[in-house]
Structure 1
């Protein structure tokens, strides 16, 4: 049986902390994992695969996910950020993406023999937000984000918004399309750096119920609503991905790290 590829989309239902396992020695003690070249946050493939395997050591798990004796029949790539939620003055929040993000997705689709994005991917100016039809995130002709105000160009990427909505969200496309904004690569990179959720954590003395010395630290997390994409490549085992949700990363016991699989994909 020959190998095939499948495009998978995940959405964060709660903040997700795919950690690096190292103290950063900076203001944020425990950062999220990031791509070296872009600085964009990712969920490493090893984290996804570990959760999917979930400690199983049966014959099927060894065949699909690999073992010390044999290579895996199913390969996963890192999950990259596709749409980043950023708080907006109107419409509550916007789903941001950039030409670089979408061009890389299209490149990878082609490389793996999948049908690539068909809509044109224009390049917005650094002060522009290209929107679909009927957006809810426009106020006074602008998309007003947390730190940046962008000129709204309504309808400039209607076809792209519709195609992405169908591909990723399926029947929920409307909720996405009204918040979709294509922004300059530099603007997207800025929010990937500054737009993560910062969570303060404390360790308490079990007797006094006070914070122990050195027991305060800060964790970075990919915010809820973020949409990520990854590819699965192999000859079998794709049914292992047919889960409605995964719990991944740190702090699962306090409800973090919950991902749902979206209905789109290819």
Structure 2
């Protein structure tokens, strides 16, 4: 990282199921979610996260009679510098061209001539909730996801005091305070996840990891009990097992559209769609450079502070589709090398 570039992490906690739509379904699901090619684990593309952040931070017009619900008040300058200028709407194109011509005569730069200062990677899956016979659910993760997280933390200059636990095939690692395990008929400790039993091994490494992960959850008071739950419900699976549950243990919903005249399902209006379950945790690495807008004096640190303060005020964003049926409520936690103003310090 250079002095002109700041890096930080955004953690995204799904409070309701999340549908970030991927390619057209070729299997049993008509509308699948986005997935990584190499791991087949769920992701949310960076462009979607970036758009949701911009939408949340940009004020809406207060006029209830507006024709276009997406119309905005004039966005604060820092938003356009961080995310880039708003695209010109077709109906405003003539007006925009006239404005551009006027700007050219004054020697100013056209609004479409700078890129946003924020770069955002795809949000990757860190904790995945899996149905458990005991304890309701277990939060699962895997070595490869933790190693990728460590790599991103290093880029952001954040040091951690935990190391990646490495489970053996056919078993999972749990913390010393685990409460999702039971005794099988032979007296051995197992966890039963999605009706599949896994042997358990207890280690302080998982306990320490779970306590650190509490910092990645949103810092509202309503998350206090969830932070307290992590040490007793966190498990570390092998990469193979985690990929398996991440691919097959998502939620699939069947939806229909009713024909109002007949009161029955409209012809062809039956489909299935996939969602990432609520209580999942993702993370994204972000970098910010100094404003690229001509004449602006905002540096990278200034823009990061604006974003940090904006997220502290909003606490949640709406991400993905199906918002009118409650999908996509996501809690956000900001983590940087030093972030005392918002929630937890990263160290």
Deviations 1:57-88 (A, max 9, x none): 63433211013421111222211110000000
What SS does the corresponding residue of 2:129 show, helix, strand or coil? strand
Structure 1 portions without partners, runs of 5+: none
Structure 1 residue 217 corresponds to structure 2 residue 271: yes
Is the CA contact 1:205–1:212 (under 8 Å) kept in the aligned structure 2? yes
Alignment match, 1:163: 212
Alignment match, 1:200: 254
Q: Provide the C-alpha distance between the structure 2 equivalents of 1:10 and 1:244, rounded to a whole number of angstroms.
A: 11
Name the TM-score, length of structure 1 as normaliser.
0.92
Q: Which of residues 126, 132, 135 in structure 2 aligns to 1:82?
A: 126
Is the CA contact 1:47–1:248 (under 8 Å) kept in the aligned structure 2? yes
Alignment match, 2:171: 128
Deviations 1:35-55 (A, max 9, x none): 111111011111111122226
Structure 1 residue 245 corresponds to structure 2 residue 316: yes
Q: Provide the C-alpha distance between the structure 2 equivalents of 1:158 and 1:48, rounded to a whole number of angstroms.
A: 30
Name the CA shift for 1:38/1:117 in 2 (closer, same or farther; >3 Å): farther
Is the CA contact 2:11–2:281 (under 8 Å) kept in the aligned structure 1? yes
Name the TM-score, length of structure 2 as normaliser.
0.71
Q: Which of residues 142, 154, 162 in structure 2 aligns to 1:119?
A: 162
Name the CA shift for 1:264/1:185 in 2 (closer, same or farther; >3 Å): farther
Higher helix share: 2
**TM alignment of 1:1-266, pairs within 5 A:** 2-20=4-22, 22-54=23-55, 58=75, 59-67=77-85, 68-110=112-154, 112-140=155-183, 141-156=189-204, 157-168=206-217, 171=224, 172-234=226-288, 235=300, 236=303, 237-239=306-308, 240-242=310-312, 243-262=314-333, 263-264=343-344, 266=346
Q: Provide the C-alpha distance between the structure 2 equivalents of 1:264 and 1:79, rounded to a whole number of angstroms.
A: 21
Q: Provide the C-alpha distance between the structure 2 equivalents of 1:131 and 1:264, rounded to a whole number of angstroms.
A: 24
Structure 2 portions without partners, runs of 5+: 56-69, 86-111, 184-188, 289-299, 334-342
Q: Considering only CA atoms, is the larger Rg found in Structure 1 or Structure 2?
A: 2
Deviations 1:85-133 (A, max 9, x none): 00000101000000000001101221x2422433121311121111112
RMSD: 2.0
